[in-house]
């Protein structure tokens, strides 16, 4: 941004910034469109490089595809998100943004290595802890209260650190785990980041809205190529970036509501906004523990696997889960004066009932031509 100062300090201006401050809606539109175009235009080149270098996601027992598919879509997502954010965000108004970018960069290289040469799970977990610690300690992106849960409000910095660490690592992994079929992670990501971004914009937090819509645009450009039959996957590179950015947006949403009380219960509403990936992670890990297995061991018990087994296609599964997440968002925002603990209990109960019902349904349908490619 090119800035100048007139003789009168009150007349300080920025040639580009004057547009931003006077037209915030156009700023968000520019943020979204620039990220979308960067992502959309860069993916064909990434696909060609992946094909030349044989960088594919190989078919396997746990995979829902039976042909090789490039896995480097996350590179385009990261590049589009980073460039758009750097261009449109005002770093002077959001000092912690450098730490957000630093943590995102760590997730980018972690996911990239895992997509090219498999990364051991515990190493990935350690790097996630490091990235979360940068956000919490250096960026002060943390939860500072129990928000009345169990009658507790104010907590020590150490308690705040561990609560924030669990939140960031948990949310990051929930998006990493939900990325199992075409369009699902991107579709949920677009929904969740646009909801957070829209809320931040409406309540005057433009810089957080820019962060959110930078990722919304990047995911939207990627989604075109991830539609069945998928030309590219986002891989761990994309899902880890999506997860850690959403964890930052969720924590800021909760903290802003702690101070201003725009919604009745910030933590419960934040959970409602991300209900599908969070519930899926909780459900799968609980099943693994009950079966005396490691909660991090791979399997095909995710919600999308369950629905695929019931006869749905990739697109149908994604549309169903995104629609359900929309329903949770609407319910959470319209919960009135319901307390945080009660709202969380209601959300969890609804999720259990809905997804238990899915295990009882069966859908008979012909295999569509574009889906011969997949094991449904």
Each residue of 184-238: pLDDT tens digit?
999 999 999 999 999 999 999 999 999 999 999 999 999 999 998 899 999 999 9
Report the alpha-carbon distance of residue 55 to residue 31 in Å, rounded.
30
Mean pLDDT over all residues of the chain? 87
> Is 16 domain-assigned?
no
Per the DSSP assignment, residues forming a β-bridge with 70 are 56
Sequence-distant (6+) residues with CB within 8 A of 238 are: 73, 74, 77, 78, 111, 179, 185, 186, 222
> Is 147 domain-assigned?
yes
Domain range for 36? 22-367
Greater confidence (8 vs 287) lies with 287
Helices (H), the chain: 17-22, 24-52, 73-88, 97-116, 121-133, 157-178, 184-202, 206-226, 235-260, 266-273, 275-290, 303-309, 314-333, 340-358
> Is 81 domain-assigned?
yes
Report the alpha-carbon distance of residue 375 to residue 348 in Å, rounded.
31
Judged against a pLDDT cut of 50, whether residue 5 lies above it is answered with: no
Q: Which pair of structure tokens corresponds to residue 189? A: 């990501």
Report the alpha-carbon distance of residue 80 to residue 289 in Å, rounded.
38
> Is 14 domain-assigned?
no
Residue 246: pLDDT band with limits 50, 70, 90: very high
Contact 240, 131 (CB under 8 A): no
Report the alpha-carbon distance of residue 370 to residue 367 in Å, rounded.
8
> Is 375 domain-assigned?
no
Each residue of 145-189: pLDDT tens digit?
887 776 677 889 999 999 999 999 999 999 999 998 999 999 999
> Is 5 domain-assigned?
no
Q: Is the peptide bond before 350 cis (omega within 30 degrees of 0)?
A: no
Longest dimension (CA), the chain: 74
Contact 62, 299 (CB under 8 A): yes
> Is 331 domain-assigned?
yes
pLDDT of residue 368: 43
Q: Which pair of structure tokens corresponds to residue 278? A: 């969070």
Burial class, 282, CB count within 10 angstroms (exposed 0-12 / middle 13-18 / buried 19+)? middle
Residue 12: pLDDT band with limits 50, 70, 90: very low
- The domain total for the chain is 1
DSSP state letters, 273-329: HTHHHHHHHHHHHHHHHHTTS-TTS--S-SHHHHHHHTT--HHHHHHHHHHHHHHHH
Contact 78, 39 (CB under 8 A): no
Each residue of 288-335: pLDDT tens digit?
888 888 887 778 889 998 899 888 899 999 999 999 999 999 999 988
The pTM (predicted TM-score) of the whole model is 0.89
pLDDT of residue 135: 98
pLDDT of residue 365: 52
Cα Rg of the chain, angstroms: 21
Contact 244, 103 (CB under 8 A): yes
> Is 80 domain-assigned?
yes
* DSSP code, position 57: E
């Amino acid at each position: 941004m090119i800035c100048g100062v007139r003789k009168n300090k009150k007349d300080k201006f920025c040639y580009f910034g004057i547009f931003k401050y006077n037209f915030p809606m156009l700023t968000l539109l520019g943020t979204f469109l620039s990220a979308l175009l960067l992502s959309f235009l860069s993916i064909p080149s990434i696909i060609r490089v992946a094909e030349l270098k044989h960088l594919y996601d190989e078919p396997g027992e746990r995979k829902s595809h039976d042909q090789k598919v490039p896995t480097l879509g996350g590179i385009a997502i990261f590049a589009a998100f980073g460039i758009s954010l750097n261009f449109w965000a005002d770093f002077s108004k959001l000092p912690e943004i450098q730490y957000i970018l630093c943590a995102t960069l760590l997730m980018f290289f972690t996911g990239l290595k895992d997509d090219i040469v498999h990364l051991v799970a515990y190493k990935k977990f350690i790097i996630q802890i490091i990235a979360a610690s940068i956000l919490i300690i250096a960026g002060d992106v943390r939860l500072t209260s129990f928000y009345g849960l169990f009658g507790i409000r104010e907590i020590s910095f150490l308690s705040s650190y561990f609560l924030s660490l669990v939140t960031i690592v948990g949310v990051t992994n929930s998006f990493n785990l939900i990325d199992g079929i075409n369009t699902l992670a991107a579709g949920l990501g677009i929904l969740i980041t646009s909801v957070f971004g829209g809320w931040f914009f409406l309540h005057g937090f433009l810089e957080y809205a820019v962060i959110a819509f930078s990722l919304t645009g990047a995911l939207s450009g990627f989604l075109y190529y991830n539609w069945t039959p998928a030309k590219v996957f986002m891989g761990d590179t994309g899902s880890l970036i999506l997860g850690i950015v959403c964890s930052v947006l969720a924590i800021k949403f909760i903290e802003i509501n702690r101070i201003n009380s725009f919604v009745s219960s910030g933590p419960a509403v934040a959970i409602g906004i991300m209900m599908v990936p969070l519930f899926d992670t909780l459900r799968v890990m609980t099943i693994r523990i009950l079966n005396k297995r490691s909660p991090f061991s791979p399997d095909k018990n995710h919600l999308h696997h369950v629905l695929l087994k019931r006869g749905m296609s990739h697109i149908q599964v994604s549309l169903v889960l995104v629609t359900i997440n929309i329903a949770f968002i609407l319910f959470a925002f319209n919960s009135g004066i319901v307390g945080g603990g009660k709202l969380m209990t209601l959300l969890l109960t609804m999720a259990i009932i809905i997804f238990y019902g899915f295990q009882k349904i069966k859908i008979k349908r012909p295999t569509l031509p574009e889906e011969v490619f997949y094991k449904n």
